Amino acid sequence: LGLQTTPNYTLIIQAADQEGMGLTNTATAIVEVTDANDNPPIFNPTSYEGTVEENKVDALVVRLHVTDQDVPGSPAWQAVYRIKSGDQDGDFSITTDPKTNDGLLRTAKELDYESRNRYNLVVTVENAVPFAVPLGLSSASVLVMVTDKNEAPVFVPPVKRVEVMEDLPLGHQVTSYTAQDPDRDQRQKITYRMGNDPAGWLAIDPEIGIVTVAQPLDRESPNAINSTYQAIVLAVDNGSPDATGTGTLLLQLLDVNDNAPTVEPRSFDTCNREPEEQMLTIIDRDLPPNTFPFCADLVLGSGANWMVRVVKGGYRVGLKLKKELEPGEYSVFLKLMDAQDKAQVTTVTAQVCDCEGPTKNCERRAYVVGGLGVPAILGILGGILALLILLLLLLLFARRRKVVKEPLLPPEDDMRDNVYHYDEEGGGEEDQDYDLSQLHRGLDACPEVIRNDVAPPLMAAPQYRPRPANPDEIGNFIDENLKAADTDPTAPPYDSLLVFDYEGSGSEATSLSSLNSSASDRDQDYDYLSDWGSRFKKLADLYGGGEEDD
């Protein structure tokens, strides 16, 4: 039977008795022909070619087509593909498309053009179920061509470990770390640069890949985990497009004795009577033999009140008060030295309490070394603040006060009989009423001189301030006019005679004139003053026989 020609049969069956001569009856039988795997799948065509770019995984290389006369979708129709030869390293894989029954040839690994750029594969096909009768397998040949691609440079080795001392000087060479370009058919230039350099300790020559020290190395840095510093180095070619390769550089930093020992904690409380010993832990960030054993000593006068010892085991010190001290805060200067004589002085703050025995009896209070407590300090600060406020108030009060001009002459020093001090505004006897206009004559009050040998030159008169309206300004008026007279360019540089009102010969007070205008002056001849003009008329009247003042 052939399913492909007659899928089913309808049969009419007749039955008769008496050897076919008797009664008869008929029945219908339908026979369905089921499929059997008697038709093998056949490649169409039987040869294929495909190309794939290197370094790609699961890339489709080629699709293989087969025909099968069995019922589509049945197990006898489903194709199963196998690579028979040409793929010794397992670089390819082949699967079946469930819809089309085609074979899909893909890359299973990254192909390397430089290693192998051509593959000749032989692929066979069979069904999902065995053949019903012995049949031969169909096969096809597949030619796979690998195309070149710009690949990233490769560091050799990918991870490089180097041991260096942590005190290498700046600019010193650490190592040489270079990469190779796998693209042999392409002439490309490789340049280097630092990728991930957490602490910025390293630098690399972009041309030759020499790694040097850019910043001081430090084994104790948090960037050096277990004394190992990790940095990423990049190698970039000039292909199109460019490709970047990475390498890992591990620096194993060897210890140098660059850390002196210190202690933790750096403060403690203690009683000032029968105190217990305080235990402090020695911290040294270096590694042996640059650490243990340690030596401890007290310096800068701390040994007078304290004593110290290194506890058995070597990584603790005991600090204890030797004599009773006043309660307060004290600084203890502790010097620690490691096995290589690396030393450092650590300041430990001790809070001494007024108590006895264990530290738990110490009631913590704030003291200063001088013995003053917080209340005393606050009192001092309060007093200073009050004094500052008082000074501020006095300053404000002084600035708000009205400025009072002092009189030119105190009343008790005024020796004149008929002239009062300037702040006198009231009346009085007419013979004691002084005419202030004589004092505020402006230009008439300027100093005059007497020379009998030459006549004074005629020059511009100086500018003098007029009489102020406010009597309180009389002092300033006199001072300003005096300064004007002193700086008068027309005043000659020789002795001058000041002009004063004549007080009379019977005055009890002495004359104000430095030349003593007395009877002896009458012997002098002052007639020449009349020839000097109107400006000297008053002098001529006074000394030249003119009218006398009443």
Rounded average pLDDT over 14-39: 76
Count of Cβ atoms closer than 10 Å to residue 59 Cβ: 17
Distance CA(162)–CA(164), nearest Å, equals 6
Question: Is a pLDDT exceeding 80 seen at residue 421?
Answer: no
Least confident of 13-22, 236-245, 289-298: 13-22
Determine the pLDDT at residue 167.
Answer: 92
Phi-psi category of residue 516: left, alpha or beta, with phi > 0 → left and psi -120 to 50 → alpha: left
Question: Is a pLDDT exceeding 80 seen at residue 448?
Answer: no
Q: For residues 304 and 493, which has the higher predicted lDDT (pLDDT)?
A: 304
Q: Record the pTM.
A: 0.51
Rounded average pLDDT over 521-535: 68
Per-residue DSSP letters for 392-431?
Answer: HHHHHHHHHSPP-PPPSS-GGG---SS---TT--S---GG
The DSSP secondary-structure symbol of 226 reads T
Identify which of 434, 550, 448 has the alpha carbon closest to the alpha carbon of residue 503: 550
Q: Which residues contact 107 (CB under 8 A, 6 or more apart)?
A: 52, 56, 57, 58, 59, 61, 91, 92, 93
Question: Is a pLDDT exceeding 60 seen at residue 70?
Answer: yes
Question: Is a pLDDT exceeding 50 seen at residue 518?
Answer: no
Over residues 298-315, the pLDDT tens digits come to 999 999 999 999 998 889
Q: Are 76 and 39 in contact (CB under 8 A)?
A: yes
Rounded average pLDDT over 138-167: 93
Element (H, E) at 316: strand 316-321
Q: Are 519 and 548 in contact (CB under 8 A)?
A: no
Question: Is a pLDDT exceeding 90 seen at residue 12?
Answer: no
Q: For residues 180 and 470, which has the higher predicted lDDT (pLDDT)?
A: 180
Long-range contacts of 490-498, Cβ-Cβ distance < 8 Å, separation of 24 or more: 490/457, 490/459, 490/460, 490/461, 490/462, 491/447, 491/449, 492/449, 492/451, 492/456, 494/449, 494/451, 495/449, 496/447, 496/448, 496/449, 496/450, 497/447, 497/448, 497/449, 497/450, 497/539, 498/447
Determine the pLDDT at residue 456.
Answer: 55
Determine the pLDDT at residue 372.
Answer: 55
Distance CA(389)–CA(521), nearest Å, equals 66
Rounded average pLDDT over 259-271: 94
Distance (Å) of CA 351 to CA 268, 329, 465, 532: 6, 5, 76, 97
Question: Is a pLDDT exceeding 50 seen at residue 527?
Answer: yes
* Averaged pLDDT score across all residues of the chain: 81
Determine the pLDDT at residue 545.
Answer: 57
Q: For residues 64 and 547, which has the higher predicted lDDT (pLDDT)?
A: 64
Determine the pLDDT at residue 366.
Answer: 45
| Structural domains of the chain in order of their starting residue, each with its CATH number | 1-34 (no CATH), 42-147 (2.60.40.60), 154-254 (2.60.40.60), 262-361 (2.60.40.60), 411-543 (no CATH)
The DSSP secondary-structure symbol of 224 reads S
Q: Maximum CA pair distance of the chain?
A: 214
Over residues 313-334, the pLDDT tens digits come to 889 999 999 999 999 999 999 9
Quickly state the pLDDT bin for 1 (edges 50, 70, 90): low
Quickly state the pLDDT bin for 183 (edges 50, 70, 90): confident
- In the numeric block, which tokens belong to residue 312? 């058995």
Determine the pLDDT at residue 506.
Answer: 53
Identify which of 438, 446, 452, 528 has the alpha carbon closest to the alpha carbon of residue 490: 446
Rounded average pLDDT over 18-31: 78
Least confident of 251-260, 338-347, 529-538: 529-538
Rounded average pLDDT over 206-225: 95
Distance (Å) of CA 522 to CA 176, 516, 518, 550: 120, 11, 8, 17
Determine the pLDDT at residue 402.
Answer: 54
The full 3-state SS of 363-394, as one line of letters, equals CCCCECCCCCEHHHHHHHHHHHHHHHHHHHHH
Quickly state the pLDDT bin for 368 (edges 50, 70, 90): very low
Over residues 88-105, the pLDDT tens digits come to 999 999 999 999 999 999
Most confident of 269-278, 361-370, 376-385, 516-525: 269-278
Question: Is a pLDDT exceeding 90 seen at residue 201?
Answer: yes
Q: For residues 311 and 463, which has the higher predicted lDDT (pLDDT)?
A: 311
The DSSP secondary-structure symbol of 255 reads P
Determine the pLDDT at residue 417.
Answer: 47
Count of Cβ atoms closer than 10 Å to residue 312 Cβ: 6
Identify which of 230, 226, 169 has the alpha carbon closest to the alpha carbon of residue 194: 230
The CA R_g of the chain, rounded to the nearest whole Å, is 62
Quickly state the pLDDT bin for 524 (edges 50, 70, 90): low
Q: How far apart are the first and last CA of the chain?
A: 179
